[in-house]
Structure 1
Amino acid sequence: MTVYFIGAGPGAADLVTVRGLRRLESSPVCLYAGSLVPPELLESCPPGARLVDTANLTLDEIVTELAAAHHAGQDVARLHSGDPSVFSAVAEQMRRLDTLGIPYEVVPGVPAFAAAAASLGRELTVPGVAQTVILTRTAARATPMPPGEDLPSLSRSRSTMVLHLAVQHIDAVVADLLPSYGPDCPTAVVAHATRPDELILRAPLAAMPALVKQAAIRRTAVIIVGRALSATHFPDSHLYSKTRPRP
């Protein structure tokens, strides 16, 4: 028996990986976050599968479900939105499973920031403009940020920055970023990326709070800030350069 932590992707049901879909199709138990995982994906579960919406469950209740399936010898598809490596709360589940001696496997998925960049039609790393991407969030109503990971500190590099779980605090986010990025820095907010109700906002950093409020975006969105979003004059990548040595 194995627990499969599967990245379900950013929203569109067809963005799950082939491996993730195969694990889902063969697991008689499926735990999923009903508020984030597309319901169409659950149609791939085997007939008669036990489906458990974890949206209102505690960590203890989730682990109890996983342990019960383990004792019954049943594989579990544990669906997480996006990719399990970023802001997925997978680490504490794996820690509990390690203690209980329950085996698990992580199946990567398409992260929300990658889906947002695709919707924007932009590369987040552009030669001569930005070669670093910072994935972060804010501490409001959540676990405190570690020392040195506050927004003013992270923003000093002026790298492309992607903020998850932060759009409801857009005023505070912009206030923290303005000193380093400046009021005219290109900014985008992508809500419900890849879903039918996807919404994209583009504006200079200083103007973004008003647009977010006007659009009533409060959750399930990423904020992207950086010059890569509007870069047009930049050198070609060395990857395909004529001067690059060839094998």
Structure 2
Amino acid sequence: MIHFVGAGSGAKDLITVRGQRLLGEADIIIYAGSLVNPELLDEKKEGCEVFNSAKMTLEEVLTVMEEGDQKGCEIVRLHTGDPCVYGAIREQMDALDEKGIVYDYCPGVSSFCGAASALNLEYTLPDISQSVVITRMAGRTPVPEKESIESFAAHQATMVIFLSTGMLEELSRRLVAGGYQENTPAAIVYKATWADEEKYVCTVGSLAQTAREHGITKTALIIVGDVILPQQYRRSDLYHPEFTTEFREGRSQEASERERTK
């Protein structure tokens, strides 16, 4: 069996309980060495073979998987965060399907969740934003034209932008072209939940300057939107005393006042 496992957002103890167990049982671990916290390898058992996929091609990764599977090994393919976000797992799974090799998938804590925790942030505040756009700038690898930064910025939703720290001048320009104001709150979170995490709140217009001042050139997430510094937002209906749910009957404001004064 091959297990695709999300390593979590960075901190060793943010891997799931299931993921930790699978690591400890693995005969072979193939991990994304450029991004995964190497302390997670402390979980491996004696005799486990470890491969750093940062130095491997897809074909080399698949060869290790196939040869290990033929030997009856338990194999963990350890990806950063949650593999479903920029994990390049579909191409691996398709190749395993062609070879008839069985696999499963253990989710992890994505770095965009880790970045929110670093800032004590809620991405979806009532009347501010109820949507989160996860995207990246086009660089050495393209982005579909229909998914341009400008088109997403036009929605004024919360944006979490991966893999774009080296292009912040252009990112700011395109965010403004799409509809954000230069003074729209923004944040840079470097290595969210790692021991050397850094976080800086700024504006759309000062993203590049903020990164330069702190020497941040990679391994950071960019967050954009009014949820970062909300001026006003509406409280959640779910816990409002007048809101009826499956589990609780809503009460009028007068009834609630009478209940509190008893």
When normalised by structure 1's length, the TM-score is 0.97
Show CA shifts across 1:182-221 (max 9, x none): 0110000001111111111111110121111222211111
Q: CA deviation at 1:104?
A: 0.8
Unaligned runs of 5+ in 1: none
SS in 1 for 2:216: coil
Preserved contact between residue 238 and residue 245 of structure 2 (Cα < 8 Å): no
Matched with 2:185 is 186
Alignment of 1:31-180 (within 5 A): 31-142=30-141, 144-179=142-177, 180=179
Preserved contact between residue 36 and residue 79 of structure 2 (Cα < 8 Å): yes
Bigger Cα Rg: 2
Preserved contact between residue 190 and residue 199 of structure 1 (Cα < 8 Å): yes
Structure 2 letter corresponding to 1:208: L
CA distance in structure 2 between the partners assigned to 1:244 and 1:234 by the alignment:
17
Structure 2 letter corresponding to 1:171: E
Q: With a CA cutoff of 8 Å and minimum separation of 6, indicate the structure with the bigger relative contact order.
A: 1
CA distance in structure 1 between the partners assigned to 2:38 and 2:83 by the alignment:
19
Preserved contact between residue 7 and residue 16 of structure 1 (Cα < 8 Å): yes
Alignment of 1:177-216 (within 5 A): 177-179=175-177, 180-216=179-215
Preserved contact between residue 6 and residue 106 of structure 1 (Cα < 8 Å): yes
Unaligned runs of 5+ in 2: 247-262
Matched with 1:218 is 217
Q: CA deviation at 1:147?
A: 3.0
Q: CA deviation at 1:232?
A: 4.1
Matched with 2:6 is 7
Structure 1 letter corresponding to 2:148: D
Preserved contact between residue 202 and residue 208 of structure 1 (Cα < 8 Å): no
Preserved contact between residue 138 and residue 165 of structure 1 (Cα < 8 Å): yes
CA distance in structure 2 between the partners assigned to 1:39 and 1:136 by the alignment:
26
Q: CA deviation at 1:246?
A: 3.6
Preserved contact between residue 148 and residue 154 of structure 1 (Cα < 8 Å): no
* Segments ≥4 residues shifted beyond 3 Å: none
Show CA shifts across 1:58-84 (max 9, x none): 000000010011110111011001001
SS in 2 for 1:240: coil
CA distance in structure 2 between the partners assigned to 1:96 and 1:161 by the alignment:
33
Matched with 2:249 is none
Preserved contact between residue 13 and residue 38 of structure 1 (Cα < 8 Å): yes
SS in 1 for 2:145: coil
Structure 2 letter corresponding to 1:231: P
What root-mean-square deviation, in Å, do the aligned CA atoms of Structure 1 and Structure 2 show? Answer: 1.0
- Count of aligned residue pairs for this structure pair: 245
Preserved contact between residue 185 and residue 226 of structure 1 (Cα < 8 Å): yes
Preserved contact between residue 188 and residue 225 of structure 1 (Cα < 8 Å): yes
When normalised by structure 2's length, the TM-score is 0.91
CA distance in structure 2 between the partners assigned to 1:210 and 1:246 by the alignment:
47
SS in 1 for 2:112: helix
Structure 2 letter corresponding to 1:164: F
Identity level (%):
37
CA distance in structure 1 between the partners assigned to 2:67 and 2:218 by the alignment:
33
